[in-house]
Amino acid sequence: MMGSVTLPKVTFQPYVEELLEKSYLNEKAISQVGDEVCKQRWNSLLTALSYPPAYTVLRVNTLHHSKEDTKQQLSQALYQQFSVKQRLPAEVSDHPCLDDTLIITSGSLPGTNEVPVSPCSKQVIVDQQCGLAVLRGADIFAPGVLAALPDMVKGDKVSVYVDVNGSCRRGLTKPFEGEKVFLGNGDVVLGRRELFVTTCVPRGVAVRMTEPICDCPSLNGVLTDRLFLQNLPSIVVGHVVSPAVGSRVLDMCAAPGGKTTHLATLMKDQGVVIALDKSTNKIRKVEENAKRLGLSCIHAYSYDSTKACSRDMKMLMHDADVNAPPYPPGTFDCVLLDAPCSGLGQRPQISNQLQLSC
């Protein structure tokens, strides 16, 4: 059995890391705690960014379901899930302040009290996006698999590694010698032939994780009409806005719809919630989430929010859709803008490709 699995520190472009480090190790910080302590905290921060959070936050669709009943069903689903992995089930608890929020506490994380996991001989290499999802509890879906040995077939036990630098060639048949990080073991659902030697695009679960290094829950397909996976600060935003029933509300940067659907739920699906985003595909995701949660007061449009307010009467004349943008000043009771950011605080991360702009 191997000992504690340690994830590497998140990496940045060298010039980006230099800028971030200089900002963190500023004169004021050094004068207060000293240069050595500042450097230790900086390295601890980079390491922490590689690890998934110890808590998973879920918002309950309280418009159609009670929190207590949902909590009970979620606990049962997680009990079954963790029993298969022979791990203690994750704990589901109420958030102490938010009446529509549940917290799942992970059983263990790398470097804490996790059950040791030994790599096996057969390896599967996955891309970074897939690797991050695995750290958050997901199984491996076919599009995320980069490489597997020629003799890998359904039922095999394999060790899963994430390609750190994006250097693994898709379909590689030899052992990958580049930088990689061990994520745990799993059972093969789709063999190499189904993944790479086929005329059809492979879909579905390729490897079902049975011994992940992190005990984060897998929530794919779990109570999808009852729960919305959402970061705690995003849930807090909805309660801060606290729109009244029957309000007209604008979400200026809405995709994928977490805060949009929360606002509509708080309004008891009465009134109008306008969701804007530049991307048509992202707007489709907002509409899908609204439909999944049984919300009808959301109207989503692909539109540049910076041009959503207009005094031009010609632009304000809508032939078909009275809710379509643009809008005259004073149209809305509440406006929510969660503008795009660097995503620097998202966890886990392995290699951050953040660029500097002039």
Indicate the annotated binding residues for S-adenosyl-L-methionine: 253-259, 277, 304, 338
Measured N-to-C along each axis, helices 232-241 and 258-266 cross at an angle, to the nearest 10 degrees, of 40
Strands 248-251 and 140-141: what pairing?
A: unpaired
* DSSP codes of every residue in 105-146: EPS--TTTTPPP----S-EEEE-HHHHHHHHTT--EEGGGEE
Question: Annotated binding residues, as ranges?
Answer: 253-259, 277, 304, 338
What SS3 class is residue 152?
coil
The strand pairing partners of 60, in sequence order, are 227
Please give the helix or strand (H or E) that residue 255 lies within, else none: none
* Sign of the alpha-carbon dihedral angle for 283, 285, 286, 292: positive
Give the whole-angstrom CA distance, residue 114 versus residue 345: 24
